[in-house]
């Protein structure tokens, strides 16, 4: 049997996630989700579940890309290692989205390594006639065989004709020994006559004996979730594990508080989130608190602040982490849009605490089938670039047909020169460059190219 790394026990952890929608992971299994594979997190995210922790590099953007009809995501390209000029030095990830038939989306993720895009994974998402995700399969790339091999699968059973509710879902891992998928997690939901989620039973099956949990939901008169009580199940007996309390004002969720239990129904506060909202009813701030046992009080650990543009679209998210010694770490993500809610680019920045200056750490560009986005400097696919003479004392010929755009980078990834070359044989003068190795990338009328050049 394969060595499963999808889930493992986190003692004393009891994570929380907003329950504004009923399609949320049961509270009991949220602590385990931190250690699920990127593929599983991404597939559940595509199904509409909030999954704590980092996900795969490709982002399906369920909120930001749901703009008007007539455009679909075709690819993304990410870059890292920016200097003060903000140039696009080196690619990091590339993801290609295809739609081979109605109701099917395929995402192939690549990593840029040694001047080429190396496949990492292939994920297939299958939707029913109502547009609900019902099956998701991930495959990882095996470099030795040059093939994609099975990895994980998520199977969902939507509730009748509901677009949101799910009766059950399963997470399965591929077993090489058995030649089949083996279930690692299953969740079964129960609803009342008003189609409100009343109970979730979860089974984690990676250990010798399954771990079974039960979560029970309580509502107010406005159908808002106000309590989630969580239990571990042993021989059909329920033992308290924790609970979550949700408080609202004017229909808006204002606070979430998580408590853990010692299994004797003695509850201790653990985490708390407080929200504020804009005048146009979008989340403006979220403050995360952790219970300080020594001081018997709440301690602020994270502060999130959303910015919006004139069309009430998210333009920025600033996240500050506050450490116990009052040290702070602040990061910011900003967004550009093509049109409506179709995102064109996502930029991540880090704040230097001493200088109070922002440094761009990475960028991601988004491309759609019928919407033009900002074209990045680095090609999406690169063939070998023929440069001669190589090494050179300065003059270099580029053997490419048509009009050519050329970018020259240092080995550290800094863009130092960008040239546009006319039709015909291309000769460039690099005699002004310091001696050393350079990365050359080119785009012709037909394709993308990449190569290295040694300047003497």
The whole-number pLDDT of residue 52 equals: 61
Say if residue 259 is in the same domain as residue 341.
Answer: yes
Distance of CA 41 to the CA centre of its chain: 8
Q: Mark whether 291 and 390 lie in a shared domain.
A: no
**Same domain, yes or no: 159 and 296:** yes
With respect to residue 22, please indicate whether it lies within any of the assigned structural domains: no
Asked if residue 303 has pLDDT above 70, the reply is: yes
Is 7 a member of any domain? Answer: no
In 7-72, beta strands by DSSP E: none
| 38 DSSP β-pair partners | none
Q: For residue 428, is it within any domain?
A: yes
Any domain includes 8:
no
Name the phi and psi angles at 189, rounded to 5: -110, 150
Select from 317, 333, 368 the last residue of a domain: 368
pLDDT digits (tens, 9 = 90+) for 34-79: 778 888 888 888 888 877 654 433 333 333 433 345 678 888 888 8
Tokens of 74: 């075709």
Residues 252 and 130 in one domain: yes
Domain end, chosen from 368, 403, 426, is at: 368
SS3 70: coil
Whether the CB-CB separation of 265 and 240 falls below 8 Å is answered with yes
Given the DSSP bridges, would you call strands 448-455 and 383-384 parallel, antiparallel or unpaired? parallel
Band of residue 446 on the pLDDT scale cut at 50, 70, 90 = low
Mark whether 161 and 229 lie in a shared domain.
yes
pLDDT at 10: 24
Query: Is residue 396 located within the same domain as residue 300?
Result: no
Q: Do 359 and 388 have their domain in common?
A: no
Q: Is 395 found in the same domain as 362?
A: no
Q: Any idea what DSSP says for residue 3?
A: -
Q: What are phi and psi of 41, to 5 degrees?
A: -60, -45
Phi, psi angles (nearest 5°) of residue 40: -65, -45
Can you give the CATH number for the domain in which 413 is found?
A: 2.60.40.3080
Is 375 contained in some domain? no
- Residues 364, 392, single domain; the answer is no
Query: Is 179 inside any structural domain?
Result: yes
Nearest Cα to Cα of residue 153 among 111, 123, 108, 189? 123
Residue 9 belongs to a domain: no
In a domain, 132, yes or no: yes
pLDDT value for 291: 95
Number of separate domains in the chain: 2
Structural domain of 87: 27-368
Question: Cβ contacts of residue 104 below 8 Å, gap of 6+?
Answer: 124, 125, 126, 127
Are 269 and 357 in the same domain? yes
User: What mean pLDDT is predicted for residues 168-188?
Assistant: 94
∠ Cα 287 291 293 (to 5°)? 160
Q: What is the CATH number of the domain that holds 54?
A: 2.40.128.720
State yes or no: cis peptide before 391, omega within 30 of 0: yes
End of a domain among 341, 368, 395? 368
pLDDT of residue 74: 86
Residues 72 and 140 in one domain: yes
Please tell me whether residues 354 and 443 are part of one structural domain: no
Q: pLDDT by residue (tens digit) across 373-392?
A: 444 444 344 566 777 888 88
CA dist., res. 81 & res. 430, Å (int): 24
CB 16 within 8 A of CB 31: no
With contact defined as beta carbons under 8 Å apart, do 205 and 185 qualify? yes
């Amino acid at each position: 049997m394969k060595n499963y790394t999808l889930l493992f026990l986190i003692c004393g952890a009891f994570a929380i996630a907003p329950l504004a929608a009923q399609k949320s992971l049961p509270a009991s299994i949220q602590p385990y989700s931190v250690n699920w594979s990127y593929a599983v997190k991404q597939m559940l995210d595509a199904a509409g579940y909030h999954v704590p922790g980092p996900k795969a590099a490709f982002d399906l953007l369920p909120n930001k890309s749901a703009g008007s009809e007539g455009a679909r995501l075709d690819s993304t390209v990410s870059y890292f290692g920016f200097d003060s000029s903000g140039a696009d030095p080196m690619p990091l990830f590339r993801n290609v989205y295809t739609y081979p038939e109605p109701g099917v989306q395929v995402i192939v993720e690549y990593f840029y390594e040694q001047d080429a895009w190396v496949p990492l994974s292939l994920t297939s998402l299958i939707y029913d006639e109502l547009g609900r995700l019902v099956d998701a399969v991930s495959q990882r790339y095996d470099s030795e065989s040059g093939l994609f091999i099975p990895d994980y699968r998520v199977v969902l059973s939507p509730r009748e004709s509901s677009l949101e509710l799910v009766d059950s879902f399963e997470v399965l891992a591929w077993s090489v020994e058995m030649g089949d998928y083996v279930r690692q997690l299953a969740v079964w939901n129960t609803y009342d006559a008003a189609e409100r989620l009343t109970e979730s039973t979860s089974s984690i099956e990676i250990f010798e004996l399954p771990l079974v949990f039960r979560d029970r939901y309580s509502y107010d008169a406005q159908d808002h979730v106000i309590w989630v009580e969580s239990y571990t199940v042993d021989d059909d007996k329920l033992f308290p594990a924790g609970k979550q309390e949700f408080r609202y004002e004017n229909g808006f969720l204002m606070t979430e508080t998580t408590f853990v239990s010692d299994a004797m129904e003695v509850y201790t506060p653990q985490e708390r989130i407080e929200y504020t909202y804009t005048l146009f009813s979008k989340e403006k701030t979220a403050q995360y608190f952790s219970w300080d046992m020594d001081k018997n009080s709440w301690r602020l650990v994270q502060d999130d602040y959303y910015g919006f543009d004139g069309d009430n679209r998210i333009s920025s998210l600033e996240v500050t982490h506050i450490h116990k010694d009052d040290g702070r770490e602040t990061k910011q993500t900003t967004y550009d849009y093509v049109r409506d809610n179709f995102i064109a680019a996502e930029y991540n920045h880090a704040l230097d605490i001493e200088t109070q200056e922002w440094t761009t750490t990475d960028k991601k560009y988004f491309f759609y089938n019928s919407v033009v986005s900002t074209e990045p400097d680095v090609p999406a696919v690169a063939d070998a670039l023929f440069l001669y003479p190589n090494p050179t004392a300065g003059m270099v010929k580029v053997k490419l047909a048509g009009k050519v755009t050329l970018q020259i980078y240092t080995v550290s990834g800094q863009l130092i020169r960008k040239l546009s070359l006319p039709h015909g044989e291309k000769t460039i003068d690099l005699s002004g460059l310091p001696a050393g190795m350079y990365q050359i990338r080119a785009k012709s009328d037909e394709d993308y190219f990449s190569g290295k050049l040694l300047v003497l």
